[in-house]
């Protein structure tokens, strides 16, 4: 019958068959738990005294079972750690362990990732302590509001107005679990409101195209050129754009086209979804203000902490036209009820104490330096597109050299992780080929080596690809 160990040490659940006898049943249960991977290598087991008391066995029975499994190699006795589960890798006994995390690339130049080693851990810890000590327990551990904690919505309203020119009040902000959820909720609400078509930039992020399609609306391409999205005669009822720094081409939406898009929304009643995914990272001048600032009643402004802090935080926000707040909150409550609370409160404290600002300013200096180093290393012949901004640069490939697929294969052989343009087009029909080079992800010490490896693949200093 099932036995639960719940004493002063680590919890342990064992299925012991009484028909096997006490000692044999305990041995079989422990052996099965190790083989199944429920007891991972290095897991500390309860002391023989504690386990004997909880299972109603003699201490001698538990000691004998531990000794037997140690002799078989399942357990290891450590003087300072007690009895722990042994590592069975490489043995003939099959040990099923949880899936290993994806191995980190040798040279991580993937676009859209910040330097995770630069996460402001000390500031985050200070804010966490403040929240845990000062916030009411119900605010931290109780049920929360599907719209998001008022503390974070208030902090964001002030922060976004000051740094991005967003016209926001706390009652028009909904907290989400990142832009992925923001676009998913908006697509659902649009579909339920009768929207049949959504225009999305071409090229653009294929993941978000799929999110919109799954919600129901048809996705139509919005071509992008050197002035950003071509918004004249928009063939849809809603538009998703990245106006501050288009992904992946890196161009901002030209002022005339920003005004044209605003006029289209006012005239047609259509909704503009603004993905401000890295709008705070502009290096040659102050960041371009959000499109929402010139059309707050027609723009759903979306941002997140992914590029400034890290994607694992799963904290995003959308500033909505007033009539969309209720439907989006309702969709949020159906999706997951509400976003995790402690992180919201900590981020609010980080913003109000200006530690968030300080972190972004420091990152801006570092990423600007890295982009300039990339340009110098690739040389004057490299065709880098886009303005000095964001966390990546687009390098186009010459027509008379190896194609995108071959270059990506070369990079993979060298342990370089980046991505190409092919998957970002709505229709892969032989359009411009290129590489998206992320210069933010590598830790500071690893970035020069990553650039050297990339330069060898690309055949710099001319920036043109070497053959063979």
* Domain 118-355: CATH architecture, name and number where available: 3-Layer(aba) Sandwich (3.40)
CA angle 331, 333, 337 (to 5 degrees): 145
Quote the percentage of the chain above a pLDDT of 90: 70
Position 341 scores a pLDDT of 97
pLDDT at 106: 92
pLDDT value at residue 9: 58
Minimum mean pLDDT range among 92-96, 105-109, 228-232? 92-96
Burial class (CB in 10 A: 0-12, 13-18, 19+), 270: buried
Strand partners, 337: none
Of 375, 457, 383, 464, the C-alpha closest to 413 is: 457
pLDDT digits (tens, 9 = 90+) for 208-238: 999 999 999 999 999 999 999 999 888 899 9
DSSP β-bridge partners for residue 13: 4
3-state helix/strand/coil string of 108-164: ECCCCCCCHHHCCHHHHHHHHHHHHHHCCHHHHHCCCCCCCCHHHHHHHHHHHHHHH
Rounded Cα distance, 428 and 336, in Å: 35
Q: Which residue has the higher pLDDT, 96 or 295?
A: 295
Which are the contacts of 307, defined by CB distance < 8 A and separation ≥ 6? 112, 114, 277, 278, 280, 281, 391
User: In this predicted structure, what is the pLDDT of residue 56?
Assistant: 84
Contact 316, 275 (CB under 8 A): no
> Is pLDDT at 125 greater than 80 in this prediction?
yes
Fold of 2-85: Arc Repressor Mutant, subunit A (1.10.10)
Quick check: 320 pLDDT over 90? yes
Residue range 164-178: average pLDDT? Answer: 97
Tell me the per-residue pLDDT of 237-266, one tens digit each, with 9 for 90 and over: 999 999 999 999 999 999 999 999 999 999
3-state secondary structure of 234: coil
Query: Which residue has better confidence, 380 or 270?
Result: 270
Lowest mean pLDDT among 286-290, 307-311, 403-407: 286-290
- Which comes out higher in pLDDT, residue 72 or 203? 203
| CATH fold group of domain 357-458 | 3.90.1150
The predicted structure's pLDDT at residue 460: 63
CA dihedral 111, 116, 120, 124 (to 10 degrees): 110
Q: How far is CA 236 from CA 217, 239, 262, 341, in A?
A: 10, 7, 14, 37
Greatest mean pLDDT range, 105-109, 328-332, 427-431: 328-332
User: Taking the model in full, what pTM does it have?
Assistant: 0.81
What is the predicted pLDDT for the residue at 80?
Answer: 66
Q: Is the pLDDT of residue 5 over 50?
A: no
Residue 176: what pLDDT?
98
Indicate if the pLDDT at residue 7 is higher than 70.
no
Among 255, 202, 207, 205, which Cα is nearest to 229's?
Answer: 202
Mean pLDDT, the chain, integer: 90
Give the tens place of pLDDT for each residue, 54-65.
888 888 888 888
Mean pLDDT across 416-437: 89
Q: What percent of the chain has pLDDT over 70?
A: 91
User: In which band, very low, low, confident or very high, does the pLDDT at 459 lie, cut at 50, 70 and 90?
Assistant: confident
Greater confidence, 67 or 254? 254
Question: Which secondary structure element, helix H or strand E, spans residue 205, and what is its range?
Answer: none
CB atoms within 10 A of CB 125: 11
Look at residue 394 and tell me whether its pLDDT is greater than 80. Answer: yes
Write down the domain spans for the chain.
2-85, 118-355, 357-458
Give me the pLDDT at residue 430, please.
57
- Mean pLDDT value across residues 267-294: 94
Encode pLDDT of 37-50 as tens digits.
888 898 888 888 88
pLDDT tier at 4, thresholds 50, 70, 90: very low
pLDDT of residue 104: 74
- In angstroms, the Cα distances linking 5 to 11, 64, 331 are 6, 18, 41
Q: CA 416 to CA 429: how far, in whole Å?
A: 26
Query: For the chain, what is the radius of gyration of the CA atoms?
Result: 27
Res. 8 pLDDT band, cuts 50 70 90: low
pLDDT of residue 350: 98
DSSP summary character for residue 446: G
* Average pLDDT of the segment spanning 385-406: 92
Q: 120 or 89: which carries more pLDDT confidence?
A: 120
Which of helix, strand or coil describes residue 176?
A: strand
């Amino acid at each position: 019958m099932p036995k639960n160990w719940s004493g002063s040490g680590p919890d342990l659940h064992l299925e012991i068959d009484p028909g096997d006898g006490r000692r044999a049943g305990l041995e079989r249960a422990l052996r099965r738990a190790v083989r199944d991977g429920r007891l991972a290598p290095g897991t500390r087991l309860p002391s023989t005294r504690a386990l004997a008391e909880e299972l109603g066995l003699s201490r001698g029975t538990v000691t004998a079972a531990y000794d037997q499994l140690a002799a078989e190699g399942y357990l290891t006795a450590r003087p300072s750690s007690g009895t722990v589960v042994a590592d069975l890798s490489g043995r003939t006994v099959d040990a099923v362990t949880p899936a290993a995390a994806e191995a980190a690339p040798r040279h991580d130049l993937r676009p859209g990732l910040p330097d995770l080693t630069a996460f402001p851990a000390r500031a985050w810890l200070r804010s966490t302590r403040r929240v845990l000590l000062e916030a009411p327990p119900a605010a931290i551990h109780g049920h929360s509001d599907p719209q998001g904690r008022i503390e974070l919505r208030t902090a964001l309203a002030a922060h976004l107005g000051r740094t991005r020119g967003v016209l926001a009040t706390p009652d028009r902000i909904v907290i989400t679990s990142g832009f992925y959820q923001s676009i998913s909720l908006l697509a659902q609400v649009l579909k339920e409101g009768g929207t049949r078509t959504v225009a999305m930039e071409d090229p653009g992020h294929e993941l978000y195209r799929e999110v919109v399609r799954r919600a129901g609306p048809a996705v139509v391409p919005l071509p992008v050129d050197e002035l950003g999205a071509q918004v004249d005669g928009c063939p849809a009822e809603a538009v998703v754009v990245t106006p501050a720094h288009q992904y992946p081409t890196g161009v901002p939406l030209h002022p005339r086209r920003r005004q044209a898009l605003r006029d289209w929304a006012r005239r047609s009643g259509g909704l503009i979804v603004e993905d401000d995914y890295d709008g705070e990272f502009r290096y040659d001048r102050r960041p371009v203000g959000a499109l929402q600032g010139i059309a707050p009643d027609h723009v759903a402004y979306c941002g997140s902490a992914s590029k400034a802090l890290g994607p694992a935080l799963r904290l995003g926000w959308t500033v909505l036209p007033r009539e969309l707040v209720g439907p989006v909150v309702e969709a949020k409550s159906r999706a997951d009820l509400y976003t995790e609370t402690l992180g919201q409160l900590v981020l609010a404290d980080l913003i109000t104490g200006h530690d968030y600002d300080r972190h972004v300013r420091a990152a801006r200096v570092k990423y600007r330096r890295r982009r300039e180093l990339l340009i110098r290393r690739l040389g004057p012949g490299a065709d880098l597109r886009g303005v000095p901004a964001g966390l990546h640069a687009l390098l186009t490939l010459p027509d008379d050299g190896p194609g995108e697929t071959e270059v990506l294969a070369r990079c993979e052989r060298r342990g370089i992780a980046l991505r190409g343009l092919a998957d970002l087009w709505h229709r892969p029909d032989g359009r411009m080929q290129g590489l998206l080079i992320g210069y933010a992800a590598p830790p500071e010490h690893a970035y020069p080596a990553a650039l050297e490896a990339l330069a060898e693949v690309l055949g710099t200093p001319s920036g043109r690809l070497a053959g063979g």
